[in-house]
Amino acid sequence: MAPFYGTPPTTLSNSRGAAYPPPSLDLSVSLQMTGNITSITSDTHSVSVSLGRPTVEAVGTYDPTRAHISLQAGGLLTQDLVVEVKCDGLDRPRCLVQRRIIDNETIDALSLTLVPRFASSPIPSQEYIFLVDRSGSMQGGRISAVRDALQIMIRSLPSMGTTFNIFSFGNGCDSLWPSSMHYDSDSVAAASEHIDQMTANYGGTEVARALKTMFTSRKTVNTTPTAIFMLTDGEAWDLPNVFAVVDKAVEESERKLRVFVLGAGNQVSTEASQCCN
């Protein structure tokens, strides 16, 4: 959806001489939900919606669980296409079965969705680290959204047994404190002031290097379970190396380390979200 930071794969580098402007993009999506579809909308693109039919050409009995969406864009997409589908029963547990026949063998794939309604056991103690992308691509609304999200997140942490820290990265990586601080009114106030001053002035997007720096600082603290939240637009080519760095750190922590990715902006790389553990 947007230019990535770093050196692209050779196969893509050799294909940059493609004709311009790019060809029109046609997209068709057929939906079948477990309940009756009540509405389909898109705030990002103009889409054509046909309710009650799996395709535009389909004829026959009206089925309220089916719909068809089509989009025709004048060129390649410049931002993520977001379509919101509302239907009855989404707050109830459900199971979907997809059946395929390959070489006369029937293969069923099941997707089970549970809606939890129970209180989880509290964690005695945990370290929280926020890794913030402050590279040039985060300028404008993205870094502003990240600042707002961080202000909410640091005020939503458990009040007991919590330590936390904030790392910023781009070409380099640094942290608010040398090691995580205990969660109290003073540390929250200092973190809040630090967040208010954040700008997108760190240059490139060296994700793997930032993760290594952060993991190294954690090793010198303790073996407390750690949750890491990386806030980024995810626009980088070196994601295989990023995955390798995360996998190694999780393995060495004996599964006491979890990594979550929160996307910023309307061009977030879906591949970047796969580095969660």
Question: What average pLDDT does this structure show over 210-226?
Answer: 77
* C-alpha distance from residue 122 to each of 10, 161, 162, 186, 257 (Å): 49, 10, 12, 24, 17
* C-alpha distance from residue 187 to each of 26, 154, 162, 200, 258 (Å): 51, 10, 11, 23, 23
Residue 2: pLDDT over 70: no
What whole-number distance in Å separates Cα of residue 267 and Cα of residue 2?
6
Residues 152 and 187 sit within 8 Å (Cβ to Cβ): no
Superfamily of domain 126-275: von Willebrand factor, type A domain (3.40.50.410)
Residue 213: pLDDT over 80: yes
Tokens 């509302």, residue? 86
Question: Among the residues of the chain, which ranges form H helices?
Answer: 10-13, 141-154, 185-196, 207-219, 239-252
Residue 147: pLDDT over 90: yes
Output the average pLDDT for the chain.
Answer: 82
What was the pLDDT predicted at 240?
Answer: 81
* CATH 3.40.50.410 domain position(s) in the chain: 126-275
Higher pLDDT, 167 or 233: 167
The strand pairing partners of 262, in sequence order, are 231
What was the pLDDT predicted at 159?
Answer: 86
Tens digit of each residue's pLDDT (9 = 90 or more) over 69-124: 988 676 667 777 889 999 998 888 888 888 888 888 999 999 888 877 767 677 78
The distance from CA 255 to its chain's CA centroid, rounded to whole angstroms, is 21
